[in-house]
Every structure is written in structure tokens, then in C-alpha cells.
Structure 1
Amino acid sequence: MAYFQSVHKSQIPINCHLCDSKKNIKWKCVDCGLFICDKCKEGRHLRIKNAQDHNVISIKDVGLHSEKLDFTNIKCTDHSAQSCCLFCKRCDSLVCPTCVSKVHKKHANDLIEISEAYNIKIDELKERQSNIKMEKEKAITRKKHLEQCKNAENAKYNKVIPNILNHGNALKKAIDKYIEELKDEVDEHLKAILKSIDTDLHNLSKSMEHSNEKNREVEILIKTQDVAKFFSEVGRSFKSNEVLVPKSQSSYNSIPNFFPGEITQSNVGVLQSEESPEKLSIAFKILQEYQTELSRVSQIIPCVDNSVWINSSSDGCIINAEPRGRKLTVVSNFKMTVYGMAITQSNNLLLSVHGKSRLQKLNITTGKLTDTDFDVDPLVPISIHTTSGNKVIVVGISEKLRRKAVFLINDKGDHETVYEHDKHNQPLFSYPRSITSTSNGNIQLVDFHKGKKGRVVVLVKGSDMIHSYNGDPKINKHKSFKPQRIVTTSRDNVMVTDLDTEIIHILNSNGCLISWYNTKDIGILHPFSLALTPTGQVYIGCTRQAGSTAKEAKIYEVTISGC
């Protein structure tokens, strides 16, 4: 039986419903719906048939107890002479006996009690409300952080300007004009920075207002006692209550510092920008945990149909599975050693298969494996990434030739760019493993050879510049940085798993550490692979402990806020 919460809002004194006296009313009979005094509770009320079985509560508790809804008197919208008796899940509608006999005969397995349907809809609404609240919390967190950025920039502004003015006071009058130009330049920097931040703050505030409005709509619908109205509006509510936090910039420009020069007209001082990566507050929450029979989840590819492709190169197989409740149901299993996978725009798989220099395409409908135009011969591809611009980035290696290279390949198979040596003709990479890219065109890859320290290499688009992240002195104080897999987040940052520390390092698009998270804090051990789902969640695939022979690697579906 479904329930709603009755809420006692009125403070107006009422008479006893049985004796009509103005005595102090202390009780309510939930079954009768009567408010009664002490005397009638022990007297007149007990004369009512079966009153001894009634639920009598203190009026102080009104609103805390659930009251039954009446599902027996809902008129059918198509047959006004009849009342609805069941709910059809297939048609998502209430039905009367005539509806069942004329339209829903073949829907027997989809017909359920109205009360059960009500409970299902209430649960769905509450889940939607929970999602709205979670998105609102994300917006609040983001807004707080942006306000901190704004305050920090104002504080920095208040520090930089006096430095400029103090230095200007020591200069001759002839250079006063240049000092004013510097001041104006800082003002323009601040104006541009605050405009950028204020734009995001405005969008977040609008989103929060929208969240509050949608939350109120859902709250009203949950508390309504008009069941007919409930079912007429609940479907529309599902369609209209989608609330998403607008994307904001992952980082902002910062006011340049002032560096004083000698007191000469040619060297008054200059403004110089400094790298100021945004520090993030990160939160992980496990949504679901799945047990596999694999020794390692080398890679995960989520699909738009909610299924996932799982690669276990150590077990020599790739698996297509569907999450069903708490279980992953295997749909297909291909026995082959695959080093890397990527999804195409047509939702087929690109595979780097053992022994082949040319990428293979797996048709996920037919299971047929065919050659592609993406070839890195004489090297062997070991990692693949598809960009938003429909290009393919391939990591190729050859131990025999002692070559390791990264290829940017267009859809025709042409090698547009090859990264292999620096300007001194020295190898760029030790052993590149996993690769991703960000919207600014930078390529980020994991470079790690067993027995050596690892790093994340950033190849800057349109430049010879190469940045690298070698781990954090505090995080990797006792255990060296051993990066394994890398993925780009929805905010254009990158996340990297660290084999020995169980830390996920979070970097900006230039390879600077902006946050980190210890997955042991939520019970995730030995994280190895990462994947972003089409709906914004993250899959974390695990490996087994060093020295173990168990085949019980786990996969976690988590939500991550803040990055």
C-alpha cells in the first residue's frame, strides 16, 4: 500500500469532532480522521465499530505518520462509468476493466496494482529529486569555489597595484605616463578575469534557481493527495525536471605580477603572468560495484546503450557486458589479446590487436573484425584514443627497433603529426602506455617503464613545448609514481591512476596537479583503468594485488564532483 505524509500546518483551535466541545484536543484517529479530546478517546470513540483496532495518535505526531491513499475511486478517463483497477507498465497508464478487455489483453505481464505503480512512481520521483539536489550541491560547491577565486583575485589586485604605485613614486615625472599605462593594464586584466568568473557565477545562479523551481514542482507532486492529478502530471514531470549544472571554465587567467626594474625609462617594470592552476575540491561516491572473473580490468569502454566493453589483456579477452542490477551480464566474449580500445563515432570498436600494425575495427552488431586505414607499421599499436575532431591518436612501439612514437592520424589514415624525438633528436618517451587529449588540442599520455619512475607527458598543440608531471613529492614520498591509465573529465581536466598508491591524480590540461583522491577512502582497492560514461559517471576498473593469482577484479561505477 502506498502512503503519503500528512502535514499539520494549521494552528487554529478546533473542536472535538465527537462532542463538539472546545476542550483541549490531544488526539487524532488515523482510521476515522477525527480529532478528539481525552474524554471521547476513552468514551465515545470506543463505541465506533472496531475502534479498538484503530490507530490513535497524538496531535503532536500528526504529519509524522503515514496515511493511506484511496486507490479505489479513480475514474477512468476513457470510460467515465468505470473506476481504474490496474496500471499498465507498458502503456504507462491507469486502466479500468473495459480498458483491459479492449486494449490491454496482451499486456497481462505488465498489469500491476495501482498502489504498486504509485510506489514505483514515488520512488522514481524521489530518485529524480535526489539527483536534482545532488546537482544543486555541485552548483553550490562550484559557486563557493568561484567566489573564493574572485576574492583571491581581488586580494591579488590590491597587492599588485600598490607595488606598481610604490615603484612609480620613486621614478621621475617623465615615466609617470608609463606607470599609469601599467595600472590600466592591470585594471583590464582584472576586468577580463572577473567578467569571465562572473559569467560562470551568473550561469550557476540561474541553474540553482532552476533547480529550486524544479525541486518545488517535484515536492508538490510527491505530496499531492489527488491521485488522478498525480498520474496525469507525473509523466510530464519526468520529462521536464532534467536539471544540469552548466559547464564552467576549468581554469581562469590570473592577474600578472609586477616585477620592478631599474629606474630608467626603458625598464620601469613589466607585468608577468604566472602559472596558477585552480585547486579543486573533489568528492567520489560509489553508485554500484561489480564483480568480474578477470585478473585485471585493463580498459573499459562505456556505450550509449548502457553496455560496456571490457578488455583484460592479461587474460587475453575482450567482453561485452550489460549492467543489470548489481551484476554484469556477459553478452559476448572474444578470445584475443588486445592492447588498446577506442569507440568510433559509429559506435564500433577500434582495437590494437597483438601481432598487427594496423588497427582493427570490431562491428559490435555482427562481431566481424576488419582492417582499418590506421597503420603504424613497422611499429605495433598499443594504445588508441579518438578525438572530438574524429581523428585517431595511436601509440606505437617496436622493442626491436627501439622506437616509441605517438601518431596523430586523420580519417583517411594519413599521419598528420608524429611525436618521437625532441629537438636534440633524443627519444621523447620511455614506454608510452595510455593516451588522451583535451579541448585545447594538447595530448596527454602515460609514460612508464617497469622498474623506473613514471610520468605524464603533455604534448602542446602547435608548439615544440613538452610538459611533464612526475608525481607529487608528498603523494609519492614513499612510493614512486607509477601511472597506468589516463582519461579526460567533463571539465577538461585529466585523471591518472597510480598503481602503488591507490591515488587518482587530477591534472589540468597543461599537466599541473590540481587535486588528488585516495580511492581507499571509499573502499576501492588497486584502481587501474578509468572511463567516462555518456551520462557523466566514471567507471573504475581494478587489478589484483601484486603476487596474487586471483581472478576477481572489480569494477566500480562512481560519481565524481569537482573535476
Structure 2
Amino acid sequence: MAFSQLKGEAQTPVTCQFCEESSDIRWRCINCDVFMCQICTTKIHRKIKSAEKHEILNLKDCGGIDAAQAIRKVELQDMPCSTHIGHTCCVYCMDCGKPVCASCLIESHQKHKYKTLNEIYDTTFSKMKEVQNKLESSLEFFDYEKERLHKLHLDGAKNFQKIKNEITLTEKEISEIISKYAKELVQELESIWKPTENKIKAELSDMQKKKDNLLKREENLKKIFLSHQASDIFNSRKLLDETAKKINGDLILRHYENEIYICIQT
């Protein structure tokens, strides 16, 4: 549909499509699918019947999530049926999980439960926003945890090297008996540090995988936010449920672990 295109996808005319004179194109009516100058927007378009219900976009705002949302809401009013050519969807079938037209209701959805398209669309979109917020919060959490573990690893490695150097120095300064004891201390130190170091590295690797998974899910959501098809919102319901469960599960498993300390008794 023509109004499903945003700025950058549709060719902006040289002159206003109302007066065909002014080149100062500032507005676009999604319902009428016309580009207008300021004067025509104020003096002509507002006189059109039901114009107060039209979605008018400033060209500088086109291309963002809000503009895509406005276009989808208009497209929702004339959403084509996937089964009957030339028919528009009027309700959402809860049993089949898809928008249907009047012919669909008569033919194969007579005993099904329905809700309005706007209700399901708004509910799903709100859930998308909720999941998006959780994604952002989770990504911030993983960034914080990654930084904490990196610092923990760095401090631990420095402390490990410091102690090892002191032990090595002591080994050179004392007798053969003390030298043997120093070597035993190094081995003991390594037996304490290495499992901790390996655990930190494993946690860093696991965290990166989880973060990459969340980034991928976030990217999919962003594509849906910018989609011009209302059907994409409905199709995202399963993805939203899976993503919400994934976020909640990850947060429970990774919630603020205790600091790891290496204690060496001499």
C-alpha cells in the first residue's frame, strides 16, 4: 500500500501535491498519501471530511519508530485479508491467532472467539515495549557483570603475580629447605587461583553468549518496530513470550554473584 512507505522509501515530490506550486514540502498525510506544504496543510487539508482523524507526519520525523507506528495504525484500518483477495480484516480470531475478514467469519470462524484488531495490536505492541525495556535492562546488567568480572580477573591476576614474585624472591634468598617450601607454596597458590580463573573465564564466555543472544533478539524487535506491516506485530507474539522467558531466566541465574577472593595463608 502506498501509505506504508516512509521517507527514504517513497519519492518526495518536487512541489506540493495540493497546490502544485510550493516546493516547501513539510508534511505528509498518511491516510491521503500526499505530500503538502505548510499552507495547504493548514488551509486545504483540514477542510477534508474526517481530516482531524488523519495521521499527519512532519517529514523530518519520518523514518523513526513513531512514524512507523503511525503508518501501521492507518494500515490497520485497511489490512488486507490473507485468504480473501480484495477483503479487509475486521477482527482478530483468538482461536486461529490471526486477523480475519467478514468472509472468514462466515466460512470457517463461526464459533471462534474474537477481539478487535486495535485491542490485540495495542496489547501486543505494549508487550513489545515491555520486552524491549527488559532487553535494555538485561544488556546493561550483562555489561556491568562483564566489567566486574574483568576487574576481578585483573586484580586477581595482579595479586597472583605479586605473591608468586615474592615467593620466588624468597626462594632465592633462603636455604634449600626454604626453597623446597617456596615451590610448594607456588603450587598451592596455583591450585587455588587456577580454578577461580577458569571459572571467571567460563562465566565471561557464557555471559558473552547470552548477551549476543539478547542483542540478536533486540535487533529482531527493532526490525519489527520499523516494520510497516501490522501483521508483523501479531506475528511477534510467540517471539515476545520466548524472549521474556529468556530474560527472566538469565537474570535469576546471573543476579549479582558474590565477589571472589583468593586467600593465601603463609
Please report the TM-score for the alignment, with normalisation by the length of structure 2: 0.73
Q: Cα 1:168–1:135, aligned 2, differ >3 Å: closer, same or farther?
A: same
Q: Describe the superposition over 1:142-176 as per-residue Cα deviations: whole angstroms up to 9, x where unpaired.
A: 32332232233123213322332343233025543
Contact 2:29 2:57 in 1 (8 A): yes
How much does 1:16 deviate?
Answer: 2.8
Contact 1:150 1:197 in 2 (8 A): yes
| Structure 1 position 257 matched with structure 2 position 260 | no
Give matches, 1:10-409, under 5 Å: 15-18=14-17, 23=23, 25=24, 27-31=26-30, 32-36=32-36, 40-42=37-39, 46-47=43-44, 50=47, 58-62=58-62, 63=64, 66-67=70-71, 68-80=73-85, 82-107=87-112, 110-173=113-176, 175-231=178-234, 233-238=235-240, 240-241=242-243, 242-243=245-246, 244-245=249-250, 247=253, 250=257, 254-259=261-266
| More helix by percentage | 2
In 2, Cα distance between the equivalents of 1:239 and 1:71?
A: 23
How much does 1:223 deviate?
Answer: 2.7
Three-state SS of the structure 1 residue aligned to 2:89 is: coil
In 2, Cα distance between the equivalents of 1:240 and 1:172?
A: 65
Structure 1 runs of 4+ off > 6 angstroms? 19-22
Aligned residues: 247
Quote the RMSD (CA, aligned, Å).
3.7
Q: Cα 1:113–1:141, aligned 2, differ >3 Å: closer, same or farther?
A: same
Q: Cα 1:224–1:174, aligned 2, differ >3 Å: closer, same or farther?
A: same
Three-state SS of the structure 1 residue aligned to 2:99 is: strand
In 2, Cα distance between the equivalents of 1:83 and 1:136?
A: 40
Q: Describe the superposition over 1:101-133 as per-residue Cα deviations: whole angstroms up to 9, x where unpaired.
A: 3443334xx422212221111112222223333
Contact 1:69 1:225 in 2 (8 A): no
How much does 1:84 deviate?
Answer: 1.9
Q: What runs of 5+ residues in structure 2 fail to find an aligned partner?
A: none
Q: Cα 1:240–1:171, aligned 2, differ >3 Å: closer, same or farther?
A: same
| More strand by percentage | 1
How much does 1:202 deviate?
Answer: 0.7
Q: Cα 1:150–1:114, aligned 2, differ >3 Å: closer, same or farther?
A: same
Q: What runs of 5+ residues in structure 1 fail to find an aligned partner?
A: 260-563
Three-state SS of the structure 1 residue aligned to 2:27 is: strand
Contact 2:15 2:21 in 1 (8 A): yes
What one-letter code is carried by the residue in structure 2 that aligns with 1:96? C
Q: Cα 1:13–1:177, aligned 2, differ >3 Å: closer, same or farther?
A: farther
How much does 1:209 deviate?
Answer: 0.6
Contact 1:85 1:113 in 2 (8 A): yes
Contact 1:164 1:258 in 2 (8 A): no
Three-state SS of the structure 2 residue aligned to 1:75 is: coil
Contact 1:139 1:245 in 2 (8 A): no
Q: Cα 1:15–1:161, aligned 2, differ >3 Å: closer, same or farther?
A: same
How much does 1:181 deviate?
Answer: 3.9
In 1, Cα distance between the equivalents of 2:143 and 2:221?
A: 20
In 1, Cα distance between the equivalents of 2:40 and 2:101?
A: 43
Q: Cα 1:86–1:155, aligned 2, differ >3 Å: closer, same or farther?
A: same
Contact 1:14 1:22 in 2 (8 A): no
Q: Cα 1:47–1:77, aligned 2, differ >3 Å: closer, same or farther?
A: closer
What one-letter code is carried by the residue in structure 1 that aligns with 2:89? C
How much does 1:257 deviate?
Answer: 1.9
Contact 1:15 1:21 in 2 (8 A): no
Contact 2:25 2:38 in 1 (8 A): no
Give matches, 1:401-420, under 5 Å: none
